[in-house]
Copies of this chain bind each other. A is one copy, B any other.
Amino acid sequence: MNHFSLSDFDRLPLSDRDRLQLNQSFRRRTFKKKIKVLNQGDVCTEIYFVRSGLVKLCYHTLDGKEYIKSFIKEGGMFGSLNSLLNNAGSTFSVIALEDLIVDAVAYATFFNLANKYPEFHAVSLNFFQQLALKKEIREYELLCLSAQQRYEKFRLQEADLMHRIKQSDLASYLGITPVALSRMKNKSNLKIK
């Protein structure tokens, strides 16, 4: 969940009282690297704004495999759609890949303010629009591109993440094994030489 950040709220014409309420409803939380921020299956009706650090959102299967949905870094946000919309357990876990600072806010707070301020409603609408668009792009990549093409795209578009994440996590994001990724990288190196 990206394309939307805390600073979006600063632009809203809230009353002093409501702005205070909004600010107070944020709870700052910190997590050490490798700590699980959200556990797959747990209901989580908060939204998290990442101030610094990096997390991975990932599915864990019964046979112990991990598939990475997405990476969220500083400036981004995340939350569980299945919890927010269906009040059900999150379909994925969230794990800190770097020491993490987030601001958490209950989704209910959003709803209350959205009923009061049309501008706020536009913000939340925009958020879900951008999320749907982002998911659609990921769907396209998984459906139409080969692992090799997904790798090249990630390398170009997420250059800064390339040296912040483990190669095995990148492989899991691309939908292949670490062995396959290592193999692939060196094959394309040969072509360059």
* Contact call A59/B132, Cβ cutoff below 8 A: no
A81-B139 contact in complex given A115-B118, A144-B61, C-beta closer than 8 Å:
no
Chain B contacts for A85, CB-based, 8 A: 129-130, 133
- Identify the closest chain B residue to A66 (Cβ): B144
Asked if A36 is an interface residue, CB under 8 A from chain B, the answer is no
When each residue 74-96 of chain A gets 1 if its CB lies under 8 Å from chain B and 0 otherwise, what string results?
A: 00000001101100000100000
Count of chain copies: 2
Asked if A180 is an interface residue, CB under 8 A from chain B, the answer is no
* Contact call B125/A59, Cβ cutoff below 8 A: no
When each residue 35-65 of chain A gets 1 if its CB lies under 8 Å from chain B and 0 otherwise, what string results?
A: 0000000000000000000000001010000
How far apart are A79's CB and chain B's nearest CB, in angstroms? Answer: 11
* Contact call A59/B128, Cβ cutoff below 8 A: no
Chain A contact residues, CB within 8 Å of chain B:
59, 61, 67, 69, 81-82, 84-85, 91, 114-115, 118, 121, 124-125, 128-133, 135-136, 138-140, 142-144, 175
